[in-house]
Amino acid sequence: MERRHRRTKREKMEDELRQTEEAIEQYKAAIATMEEKKHMLEEELESEHVREVTKLLKEKNLSVEQLKELLGSMISEELVEQGA
């Protein structure tokens, strides 16, 4: 029976390098997937905020223009208070 070829230090290092490169690629793919998921969740969250504002506008019977004016006047008041 033939003896198994013993791997050299170089062969072991090449195998380890290959495995490390494969692991890096797997992590990169996982990160890309998580980035996509993060982006989708951010978009969903923004949409939910818009729905909440729209619902509030309907409940208070306000238009978008009225909301802009209201927020603008609040910001102006805050700036005057901070300057005082």
For 25-48, what is each residue's pLDDT tens digit? Answer: 999 999 999 999 999 999 999 999
Is there a domain that residue 48 lies in? yes
Closest C-alpha among 38, 29, 37, 79 to residue 71: 79
Closest C-alpha among 70, 42, 75 to residue 56: 70
Q: Count structural domains, the chain.
A: 1
Is there a domain that residue 66 lies in? yes
Q: What tokens were used for 4?
A: 């198994």
| For residues 49-78, average pLDDT | 92
Is there a domain that residue 1 lies in? no
**Residue 77 — very low, low, confident or very high, per pLDDT cuts 50/70/90?**
confident
Is there a domain that residue 2 lies in? no
Domain assignment of residue 27, given as a range: 9-83
Predicted TM-score (pTM) above 0.95: no
The C-alpha atoms of residue 78 and residue 71 are separated, in whole angstroms, by 11
